[in-house]
Amino acid sequence: MLRYQIKKLLGITLYLTVFQYSNAALVFADSIGASFILLSVHTNPGILALREQYPRKIDAEGKYVFTPGVEGYYQEQFASSPLKMDSMRFAIGAGYDCADLKFGYMHWGGRWVFPWTDQLLLDVGLGPSLIFRESWKKRFAELVADEEGFWVESDEFIPGYQYKWLIGGNLELQYKFATNWHAYWALVPAINILLINSMGVKYSF
């Protein structure tokens, strides 16, 4: 298991190296951002008995759940890049999930920008991600058997947590409200499972 995880880490490192350094042009701008993770919306009915036990549920059936957390990121913009990427972003986030247990993630991927007006744009991201959460077996041992094929749990890698390597990203609707400043609404669209919503600000140097 440990050897398998090392191979994955090496593969992701290679991916990042190729996309970060294949751009020969100088970086012409950098930006940083921060956001509050606010709301998870479950799009899959799942196990109702499980959802009804979510401590931070907003509705009786647990479709809408308050999942407080924070995210920060650093972004490099490109003058030219592979796959027509506008920039590369490294993001890290942490908070509490639907079960009110700790969760976190790390992400490094490309960004593609689609301007709509002088002030409004859509920023789309995609790249390798590591997500992890405290093991739900601590709270819902009898109800999480159907998730065992998705999450991985090991005493050798993040003990006490369930984790998953995947290709993920988000959508950001950004509004320029001042020079160098954008406010944004972000959505992580795990469409067949849930939608994670957050609000934040971005500053461009």
Buried b (16+ CB within 10 A) or exposed e, 186-204: bebebeeebebbbebebee
| Average pLDDT score, the chain | 83
Confidence of residue 27 (pLDDT cuts 50, 70, 90): very low
The H or E element that residue 10 is part of is helix 2-21
pLDDT interval class at 143 (50, 70, 90): low
**Banded model confidence at residue 24, pLDDT cuts 50, 70, 90:** very low
* Per-residue model confidence (pLDDT) at position 83: 74
The Cα–Cα gap between 157 and 10 comes to 15
Domains of the chain by start residue, with CATH: 2-204 (2.40.160.20)
Residues listed for the chain: 205
Burial of 137 (0-12, 13-18, 19+ CB in 10 A): middle
Percent of the chain topping pLDDT 90: 53
Helix (H) or strand (E) holding 7: helix 2-21
pLDDT at 26 > cutoff 50: no
Q: Is the pTM of this model over 0.75?
A: yes
If you average pLDDT over each of 38-47, 54-63, 118-127, which comes out highest? 118-127
Sequential DSSP letters for the chain:
-HHHHHHHHHHHHHHHHHHHHS--SPP-EEEEEEEEEEEEEE-S---HHHHTT-TTBSSTTSSEEEEEEEEEEEEEE-SS-GGG--EEEEEEEEEE-TTS-EEEEEEEEEEEEEE-SSSEEEEEEEEEEEEEEE-THHHHTTT-GGGTTT-EE-SSSSTTEEEEEEEE--EEEEEEEETTEEEEEEEEEETTTEEEEEEEEEEE-
Task: Return the minimum-mean-pLDDT range out of 22-31, 82-91, 155-164, 182-191.
Answer: 22-31
CA Rg value for the chain: 18
Closest CA to 110 of 91, 132, 92: 91
Does the pLDDT of residue 10 top 50, yes or no?
Answer: no
Label residue 30 by pLDDT band (50, 70, 90): confident
pLDDT digits (tens, 9 = 90+) for 50-101: 788 889 999 988 899 999 999 999 998 877 766 788 899 999 999 999 989 9
